Amino acid sequence: VLCLKPKLEMGSDSIYDLLVSAECLPDLLQGGLKAKNVNDVFILTTFHLQSQAPTRAFRIYNPTDNSDYFDFNMNGKINKVTLRYLKSNGKMGTASFLNVPLADGHPHNVMLHFSGLTHGTPSMALYVDCRLVQIVQDLPAAFKTLPSGPNKVALKIMPTTAQDIVSDLKLVLGESVENVAELQDCTLQHGESLGESLYLVPLVADVLTEAFCEYLDGAKEKTDTAAKCGPGVCFQQSMCIETERGFQCAPCPEGYTGDGVHCADVNECQFNPCFPGVRCINTAPGFRCQSCPRGYSGAELQGVGLTFAKTHKQVCNDIDECQGLDNGGCTPNSYCHNTVGSFRCGDCKPGYTGDQIRGCSRQCGNGQTNPCDVNAECVVERDGSISCVCNIGWAGNGYVCGKDTDIDAHPDRTLQCQDANCKKDNCMFVPNSGQEDADNDGIGDTCDEDADSDGILNEKDNCWLVKNVDQKNSDGDLNGDACDNCINVDNSDQRDTDNDGLGDACDDDMDGDGLKNILDNCQRVPNTDQLDKDNDGVGDACDSCPEVPNPNQVQHFTLHYITLHYIKFDGHQNTKDNCPTIINSSQLDTDKDGLGDECDDDDDNDGILDEQDNCRLVPNKDQADENNDGVGDACTGDFDLDHVIDRIDTCPENAEVTLTDFRAYQTVVLDPEGEAQIDPNWVVLNQGMEIIQTMNSDPGLAVGYTAFSGVDFEGTFHVNTVTDDDYAGFIFGYQDSSSFYVVMWKQTEQTYWQAVPFRAVAEPGIQLKAVKSKTGPGEFLRNSLWHTGDTKEQVRLLWKDPRNVGWKDKVSYRWNLQHRPQVGYIRVRFYEGTSLVADSGVVIDTSMRGGRLGVFCFSQENIIWSNLRYRCNDTIPEDYEEYRAQHLSS
């Protein structure tokens, strides 16, 4: 069906009623807009919506494969509008608009303005009830001509019900924004001129008959009343058509251009139809692409004509040489790394030693026979003994390992061993490293719909881990009396600083230091001495600037102050640092002499210098060493004498740190004044080795109190919902709320809904950022964290995963971070199951010379950080020296 004319005419504008004549749409979007040289397109719609559920107002799609070109969605429950559209690069884009109440049963007018189709900046604007909501600098691919052919473009509109109805849907072509607004009885106010451009999906078009008529008017008919068809009259004899007045030449055949009499070959190769690096051979007519390059597979391509060359591209797929039975030619039991067009051989797999020349055999690093499972790594301990650790994606005792789908250190099936980690995971697909099971029914709390077996489902239970059929809740907060640590005081966060079972909200001594809160200058940090050097009312133990009065704890440091007091960037001002000239973020001082171990030549103060002391951290003047292994008897097996054996000690040379534990943590809100969202809600499980964040929140951190110099930090990351698509990650090198490193992962591309103080665009993928914020927590830091890129005096992007791949819903990932602040070395790897999916490589940055560890969230709910592990490690990795040598040579 042809759309011969627009439904209406309004000045220079053309109006198409898509409810009456949706058949116009394919013609417009498959070349009509381009032929009309239209620069501005509008979609106007009026609807009533009562439903709170996610609802699609209209959709433009390809009925052949059901793929979307443009999709207008509304979520009445959270007042959110989402536009999903196909971008010019073939990927899907998303634009979200919050605080847009449409599902109230009243009629609403919506206008979408797409500009920049032919010139200017491509953009898209959303207007609701005559007011501008937001402008996005992008333009859907649909407005740049969709694929030609029948049954390639269709329109689907929200079904009409008793409560929900689309009463109007028009497409308007033209330049006058004010005139278009009048169609919805809008009078634009000053500052609301619809002349601000936007981006959107192609919904408008050309008139096929009109274009055909223009072609006929411009066609040149070759006739000669006297002449008739004969050899040489037209380009080809078969093209000559006799008429009453002579003859006419048909159009040049495909692959040629001209008037029918004279036709010249078209060079299709100018449109680059061949794969990069493949030679394109122009023929008469047509073209031909030679074979795919070495390392790729695919067919040769040949065709005729410009249209074919534009719409058909040679496809060459990378050959994964590593998938072959011969491991790509690499030695067995070694890594084969596929690269684009080639491959390279890597190190021996965990549990094997050797190289590509000698081969890889199952031996431990000390040359002893490897007793570990084939899916485990052999670890040589400090004392020379051997231990086995299952590889990522596997769980068990190391000698026996089984598949671990959710990477929480518990196998999917029971193993033939007796250790705790040999028992079957009670939540196979959701990480729960503590295996919590409140009702002892064999199903972990994380995946048990009624975790306490009181007959009330978790989502409705105000004490989901404690039986309370009566659901009594005296104070009306989120927690029933059976599990409320302040029964008569509203305290939904249940914060309990001193872990005495009494919530801070009703505890007159929150930190348990013996001083009542009203008299305590550090209410949440134990400090019986109440020292306050700057007399600002905030004790030194919790003062962000203990020598500079700042009772409101706002950190406004001048550059001069920072230079004088933080020149080492290890997080400790020089006047309070126990090693002012040496980097030592941990501030470890074993003998408590006021001199940090890093600059103390006798750490245990036993009169024997560290270089000669066989127990550097344990006083032993006799230096007894019965087995002459170089380690004194006083510290054999427990080097720091913290009563935790070295094999399981996370920091065997630091008696103050023994096991991974985030039960004591600091909450840091990075947008404290903003009202865009609520603050995060943190839940700590498994004795501090698992953290859950439950709310769709403002950016925030949960930071442990232990500071590290060199450290290895790993954990399992899992988003346990299909709702939302925002940021989650972890932090390291935390020194204060303005100075830290963050590794953050976004699922999809999205522009932040608060355009003040500047427009921030998040791209999908893993990002490593260094935060050095001049302003500290607030809207500038908030938008800078959201934005993928550098922001002046706020955030620097150190590395981004080039795959641009977002995290998947309900999929577990394992990260492994190495940070050596003494040389600025950073490297982070991510695994999905047993496969390495992202690797930053060596990144060098010295912005923060050590600091604390924690987790990060931004507008994403139901995040799980499971099986958390940290370990002190100052050993410089081998690849640092390789990296340094390469960069020095270049």
Q: Give tens-digit pLDDT for 341-400.
A: 889 999 988 767 789 998 998 888 888 888 999 999 999 988 888 999 999 999 999 999
Averaged pLDDT, 821-849: 97
Q: Is 632 exposed, middle or buried (0-12, 13-18, 19+ CB in 10 A)?
A: buried
What is residue 188's predicted lDDT score, i.e. its pLDDT?
60
DSSP one-letter string for 468-509: -TT---TT-SSS-GGG-SSTTS--TT---TT-SSS-GGG-SS
Is the pLDDT at 214 greater than 60, yes or no? no
Q: What percent of the chain has pLDDT over 90?
A: 59
Confidence band for 570, pLDDT divided at 50, 70 and 90: low
Q: Are 615 and 604 in contact (CB under 8 A)?
A: yes
Residue 385's alpha-carbon distances to 340, 360, 397, 617, in angstroms, are 42, 22, 16, 21
- The pLDDT tens digits for 46-66 are 999 988 888 999 999 998 888
More confident residue, 49 or 676: 49
Q: Identity (one letter) of the amino acid at 827?
A: R
CA distance 442 to 435: 10
Token digits of residue 407: 């990477």
- The pLDDT tens digits for 126-150 are 999 988 888 888 888 887 778 888 8
Confidence band for 674, pLDDT divided at 50, 70 and 90: low
DSSP one-letter string for 573-621: -GGG-SSTTS--TT---TT-SSS-GGG-S-TT-SSS-TTT-SSTTS--T
Could you tell me the sign of the dihedral formed by the alpha carbons of 848, 849, 854, 855, in that order? positive
Q: Which domains are delineated in the chain?
A: 8-212 (2.60.120.200), 246-319 (2.10.25.10), 362-435 (2.10.25.10), 449-500 (4.10.1080.10), 508-554 (4.10.1080.10), 665-882 (2.60.120.200)
Could you tell me which of 739, 734, 732, 727 has the C-alpha nearest to residue 714?
732
Confidence band for 198, pLDDT divided at 50, 70 and 90: very low
CA 541-546-548 angle, to 5 degrees, is 160
Could you tell me which of 642, 660, 674, 664 has the C-alpha nearest to residue 780?
674
Token digits of residue 647: 């094999």
What is residue 569's predicted lDDT score, i.e. its pLDDT?
67
532-538-543-544 Cα dihedral, nearest 10 degrees: -130
CA 496-502-506 angle, to 5 degrees, is 95
Residue 323's alpha-carbon distances to 319, 329, 335, 337, 343, in angstroms, are 9, 10, 11, 10, 11
Is the pLDDT at 33 greater than 60, yes or no? yes
What is residue 227's predicted lDDT score, i.e. its pLDDT?
59
**Highest averaged pLDDT of the listed ranges 92-101, 236-245, 616-625:** 616-625
Q: Are 507 and 515 in contact (CB under 8 A)?
A: no
- The pLDDT tens digits for 268-319 are 999 999 999 999 999 989 999 999 998 899 999 999 998 899 999 999 999 8
Is the pLDDT at 404 greater than 80, yes or no? yes
- The pLDDT tens digits for 428-437 are 999 999 999 9
Token digits of residue 468: 């309370």
Q: Are 352 and 362 in contact (CB under 8 A)?
A: yes
Residue 669's alpha-carbon distances to 160, 525, 681, 698, in angstroms, are 45, 18, 11, 8
More confident residue, 869 or 150: 869
Q: Are 527 and 512 in contact (CB under 8 A)?
A: no
Q: Which residues contact 539 (CB under 8 A, 6 or more apart)?
A: 520, 521, 522, 525, 527, 530, 531, 532
Long-range contacts, stretch 419-427, CB < 8 angstroms, 24+ apart: 421/395, 421/396, 421/397, 422/396, 422/397, 425/395
Token digits of residue 135: 């402008």
Token digits of residue 31: 């070349």
Alpha helices in 691-841 (DSSP H): 779-786
- Identify whether 273 is preceded by a cis peptide bond (ω within 30 of 0): no
CA distance 265 to 587: 78
Q: Are 243 and 225 in contact (CB under 8 A)?
A: no
Q: Are 767 and 784 in contact (CB under 8 A)?
A: no
Q: Identity (one letter) of the amino acid at 379?
A: V
Is the pLDDT at 561 greater than 80, yes or no? no
CA–centroid distance for 814 within its chain:
14
Could you tell me the sign of the dihedral formed by the alpha carbons of 16, 18, 22, 26, in that order? positive
Averaged pLDDT, 8-36: 77
The phi and psi torsions of 252 (rounded to 5 degrees) equal -60, 145
What is residue 220's predicted lDDT score, i.e. its pLDDT?
37
Mean residue pLDDT of the chain comes to: 88
CA distance 796 to 792: 8
Could you tell me which of 825, 816, 768, 793 has the C-alpha nearest to residue 583?
825
The phi and psi torsions of 32 (rounded to 5 degrees) equal -65, -40
Q: Which residues contact 246 (CB under 8 A, 6 or more apart)?
A: 223, 224, 225, 226, 227, 228
Is the pLDDT at 221 greater than 70, yes or no? no
Q: Are 589 and 600 in contact (CB under 8 A)?
A: yes
CA distance 769 to 741: 6
What is residue 13's predicted lDDT score, i.e. its pLDDT?
54
What is residue 77's predicted lDDT score, i.e. its pLDDT?
85
Strand partners, 864: 692, 718
Is the pLDDT at 558 greater than 50, yes or no? no
Token digits of residue 326: 């011969």
Element (H, E) at 35: helix 33-36
Confidence band for 207, pLDDT divided at 50, 70 and 90: very low
> How many Cβ atoms are within 10 Å of 798's Cβ, its own excluded?
18
pTM of full prediction above 0.75: no
Q: Residues for the chain: how many in total?
A: 890
Could you tell me which of 794, 813, 817 has the C-alpha nearest to residue 805?
813
CA distance 487 to 7: 67
CA distance 683 to 688: 10
Unique residue bearing structure tokens 């630091």? 654
What is residue 411's predicted lDDT score, i.e. its pLDDT?
98
Lowest-pLDDT range of 86-90, 654-658, 746-750, 785-789: 86-90
Q: Is 421 helix (H, G, I), strand (E, B) or coil?
A: helix
Q: Are 86 and 92 in contact (CB under 8 A)?
A: yes
- Identify whether 580 is preceded by a cis peptide bond (ω within 30 of 0): no
Q: Which residues contact 714 (CB under 8 A, 6 or more apart)?
A: 814, 815, 816, 817, 868, 869, 870
Give me the half-sphere count of Cα atoms (radius 13 Å) on the Cβ side of residue 430.
Answer: 17
> How many Cβ atoms are within 10 Å of 315's Cβ, its own excluded?
12
CA distance 851 to 475: 40
HEC secondary structure over 837-855: EEECCCEECCCCCCEEEEE
What is residue 219's predicted lDDT score, i.e. its pLDDT?
41
Is the pLDDT at 225 greater than 70, yes or no? no
